[in-house]
Chain A
Amino acid sequence: MGRISRLRPDQVAADIRSLFETFLRERGNIPNMFRTAAHRPEILGTMLAHFRTVMGPGTVPVALKEMLAVRVSRINSCDY
């Protein structure tokens, strides 16, 4: 069980709900971390924007960035 409750789409404001719906459409789930962070919507908003900017197309290959994410999560025993 998570220590903090996870908010469902019907428990969040419209702007966050549309972010959740995008996740559901693009990957078939809403990551539990973001449902947890939704308790602080302003933080969730910038967290998602930062995540997309850092992990999206930039100056190094997206595949390399995914590899680094997998490696870091593995070291941290976090099932990414």
Chain B
Amino acid sequence: MAKQFGVSDAALDGLKDPGHHPFPPEQKAAVLFADAMTDGPGHVPDPVYQELRRHFSEAQIVEIACVIGLFNYFNRFNNALHVEITLTDPDVIVRRVEEAATAGTPVADFCDRVAEILRQGRRYVRVGIYQRDKDRLVLRAWRGPAPPPASLRLGEGDVGATGQSGVTRVAGSALVVPVLAGSAVVGVIEVESDRSAAIEEEDRPLVERIATVLAARLT
């Protein structure tokens, strides 16, 4: 959500280790205040408060402390009651993919957009989108900790097997779905989730719907 409110990727990355990121001084003061207020019972040392006060009015500090307090409340509620991460409604994901499909974008850009919509909406650990080129499947877009192979032979691994058979495979927490134009395989979508329980009943129908939208662009 933060990105759509104007927080840059660099700032989001910097929040992993704010002591070593060149935040503007007022942002750094607020973040260090958040750290002190969140760590343990929230006894903020005087120097941390004084630096905050140099940059913000009393009203602004009340607002900042409310944000930090509110998220500590929400986080602790969610952690204590095991409230699961919220996923985007499948119908909304399909609609977003359809909107991206009609925008007239190049295939690689469209695939990249679909990979991002899937990763973000369903919190997949990995996403790979492949396009068929004769007897190979060529990687068009991916998300995850490391890039998958740039190209696979039909029959090679789970992705290649689905490319050959045209049949969806569920392998543990991974789901491999063919993109079909009639009976011909024109591509493959692979996703991996850390919620393997929901793969069959929730993720499979969703990714198969996405595959039908993708089919029109991969042929």
Residues of chain A touching chain B, judged by Cβ–Cβ distance below 8 Å, are 1-4, 24, 27-33, 36-37, 50-51, 54-55, 58-80
Q: Chain B residues near A62 (CB, 8 Å)?
A: 5-6
| Contact residues in A for B57 (Cβ distance below 8 Å) | 59
17 additional contacts (CB under 8 A) given A2-B83, A3-B82 = A1-B84, A2-B84, A28-B92, A28-B121, A58-B63, A59-B57, A61-B6, A63-B6, A65-B67, A66-B7, A68-B31, A68-B34, A71-B35, A75-B38, A75-B39, A78-B79, A80-B1
Contact residue among A32, A60, A70 (Cβ-Cβ distance under 8 Å from B7): A70
Tell me whether A68 and B67 are in contact (CB under 8 A): yes
Contact B68–A68 (Cβ < 8 Å): yes
Chain B residues with CB under 8 A of A80: 1, 71, 75
A70 contacts across to B, CB distance below 8 A: 2, 7, 12, 15
The A-B contact count (CB < 8 A) is 133
20 residue pairs bridging A and B, Cβ less than 8 Å apart: A2-B82, A3-B81, A4-B83, A28-B96, A28-B121, A29-B89, A33-B78, A36-B81, A63-B7, A66-B5, A69-B67, A70-B2, A70-B7, A70-B15, A71-B15, A71-B34, A71-B38, A76-B72, A78-B79, A80-B1
| Known interface pairs A72-B75, A73-B75, A76-B75; A29-B86 also in contact (CB < 8 Å) | yes
B59 at interface, CB cutoff 8 A: yes
A43 to B7, CA, bound (A): 30
Q: Are B67 and A59 in contact (CB under 8 A)?
A: no
Q: Does B146 contact A (CB under 8 A)?
A: no
Q: Hey, which chain A residues are within 8 Å of B81, CB to CB?
A: 2-4, 36
Neighbour of A54 across the interface among B5, B6, B66, CB < 8 A: B66
User: Which residues of B approach A to under 8 Å, CB–CB?
Assistant: 1-2, 5-7, 11-12, 15-16, 18, 27, 30-31, 34-35, 38-39, 56-57, 59-60, 63-64, 66-68, 70-72, 74-79, 81-89, 92-93, 96, 121, 123
A25 to chain B, nearest CB (A): 10
With both chains docked as a complex, state the minimum distance between the C-beta of B50 and any C-beta of chain A, in angstroms.
Answer: 18
- Known A-B contacts A28-B88, A54-B67; the reply to A72 vs B34 at CB < 8 A is yes
Q: Find chain A residues with CB under 8 A from B31 CB.
A: 67-68, 71
- Among B11, B39, B66, contact of A67 (Cβ-Cβ < 8 Å): B11
* B-side contacts of A4, CB under 8 Å: 81, 83
Complex CA distance for A54 and B78, rounded to whole angstroms: 19
Given A66-B2, A75-B39, is A60 in contact with B60 using a C-beta cutoff of 8 Å? yes
Give chain B residues whose Cβ lies under 8 Å from the Cβ of A69: 2, 67, 71
